[in-house]
Amino acid sequence: MESRHISRHYINRKGYKRFLRYHWPKVTTVCHTDTYLFACCIVSRGPSNDSPEFIPALKQAHQCVHFRRMLADAGYDGEHNHQLCREELGIAESIIALNKRRSRKWPKSPYRRLMKERFPKNIYNQRWHVESAISQNKRILGSALRARSEHSRERECFLRIITHDLMILRRAC
């Protein structure tokens, strides 16, 4: 999400120096790929690493929806994330793209090694649905937030996710 109504491109083009340390609200979501409904939403401040939000997001989503398969990009690659999906939450498949970590060695952990040996690329290609849901949300509701304080921006992000889900449910009726 954009924290200002001006796009980042405009700020770079104009050469403003006071915006060099630019932060934005970062939304981590778990999305159902068939319906584009968001099962959970965690708002943090970017730029930051994606991986710490995976566990709370997945646990929050698992309270509402029981998934058969979990797809995630390489930012969430870690053996602990595979173990959470398969062993703690009972998700049959966790397909997380392998982050090569600048190494040609084979991963030593079992689930990451499984992803290296036989990565189901045709199933993983369904992950683009999440990007489409986020794009749909930004197109319809806009990407610029009106709130100014961090707490208000967080609330506005949550309200946009809820509004997105309600619009999909309304259309389905």
User: Which regions in the chain score pLDDT beneath 50?
Assistant: none
pTM for the full predicted model: 0.80
Phi, psi of 134 (to 5 degrees): -65, -40
Domain extent listing, the chain: 8-134+142-166
> What pLDDT was estimated at residue 21?
52
> What pLDDT was estimated at residue 15?
64
Q: pLDDT tens, 119-148?
A: 999 999 999 999 999 999 999 998 888 888
